[in-house]
Amino acid sequence: QLSMRLEKVASFIPNGARVADIGSDHAYLPCYLAKQGRITSAIAGEVVEGPYKSAKRQVEATGLQDMIEVRLGDGLEVLEPGEADCITIAGMGGVLISEILEAGKNKLDGVNRLILQPNVGANSVREWLYRNGWELIDEEILEEDGKIYEILVAETGDPLAPYHDELELGLIFGPFLLKRKEAAFLKKWSLEKENWRRVLSQLDNAQPSREVDWKKQELAGKIRKVEEVLAK
Ligand code: SAM
C-alpha cells in the first residue's frame, strides 16, 4: 500500500517511462510502478547505505530485479546520460532537491519530465526549474497524516509560461496552486502565517538591534504577502 503522497507522484509518471527515483529509500515507488506494469524500467538511487540495502531487499522480495536496478551514489551521479527519461525526487527538502538537480545537470539530457516532491521549500525547486529551462506544467498539494505536501511536475519548455505576470508570487506559492487555492493550500499558508506571527511577537520581546529590526520587517512583509494571497 503506497502512501497517498507517493501515489500522487506516481500518477504523473508517463506510461512506459524509464524512471530514475533518486533518494528512493525502500524503493516503494519504483516497485509499485513496476508491479503495475506502468514503466519500462527503473533505477533506484540512494546515497545512504541503510536505505540502499532496504531498497535492494524490497526489489528482491518483490522479484522485480529485472526491471529495477538499485544503485548506491549521490544524487544523479548514479545515472549515465540517456538512461532515464523521467526523474522523481520525493520526500526531501526543496533546497536539497535543487542541489541534486544542479549538481547533476549534465545527466538531464534525454530526460523529459521531472516530478519533484519537496517536503518544505518548494520555492527553491520552482526557482531552480525557472532558471534552468524547465517549464512547470502542473502542481499538486495534499494533506496526509497531518502534513501538507507539494508535488511539482516539469518538462523542458518555456520556464516563464506558467507564471504570466506573477513571477514573484508564483515562485513562492506555485502558479497552479495559486489559481486553484484548494483547502490544503489555504491551510498550509494560514499555518505558515501563524508561525511567522508567533516569531514576530517573540521578536517584540527581544533585545532591540538592527538584525532584529530586519527580521521583523522581513516577517511582516511575508505575512502581508500571504494575507494578500489568501484574501484574493
Ligand atoms: N523518496 C522516498 C519517499 O518519498 O518516500 C524516500 C524519502 S526519504 C525521507 C529521503 C531519502 O533520500 C533518504 O533515504 C536519503 O538517504 C535519500 N537522500 C538524501 N540525499 C540524497 C542524495 N544526495 N542522493 C541520493 N539520495 C539521497
Average pLDDT over residues 79-98: 97
- Please tell me the predicted confidence (pLDDT) of residue 1: 84
The closest of 124, 137, 43 to 85, measured between CA atoms, is 43
> How confident is residue 62, by pLDDT bands cut at 50, 70 and 90?
very high
**Ligand 1 pocket residue status of 175, Cβ below 6 Å:** no
Q: Is 164 left (phi over 0), alpha (psi -120 to 50) or beta?
A: left
- DSSP-H helix ranges across 2-139: 4-11, 28-35, 49-61, 94-103, 122-131
3-state secondary structure at position 152: strand
CA distance 44 to 25: 8
The finding on whether 104 has its CB within 6 A of some atom of ligand 1 is no
Name the pTM for this structure.
Answer: 0.96
Regarding an ipTM greater than 0.90, the answer is yes
Please tell me the predicted confidence (pLDDT) of residue 164. Answer: 86
Cα 147 to Cα 110: distance, rounded to the nearest angstrom: 34
Mean per-residue pLDDT for 60-64?
Answer: 96
Q: Does ligand 1 come within 6 angstroms of the Cβ of 91?
A: yes
Q: Of the candidates 70, 16, 9, which has an alpha carbon nearest to the alpha carbon of residue 45? A: 70
Beta strand residue intervals within 145-185, DSSP E: 147-156
The reported pLDDT for the residue numbered 196 is: 95
The percent of residues above 70 in pLDDT, for the chain, comes to 100
What pLDDT does 232 receive? Answer: 82
Query: Which ligand 1 atom is nearest residue 117's CA?
Result: 4
- Taking CA atoms only, the protein residue closest to ligand 1 atom 26 is 23
Question: How does the average pLDDT of the chain come out, rounded?
Answer: 96
- Residue 165: pLDDT band (50, 70, 90) is confident
- Indicate whether residue 148 lines ligand 1 (CB < 6 A): no
- Outline where DSSP puts E strands in the chain: 17-22, 39-46, 68-72, 86-92, 113-118, 134-144, 147-156
Which CATH number is 4-176 given?
Answer: 3.40.50.150
Q: What is the largest CA-CA distance in the chain?
A: 63
| Location of C-alpha cell 533518486 | 22
Give residue 80 CA to ligand 1 midpoint distance, Å. 19
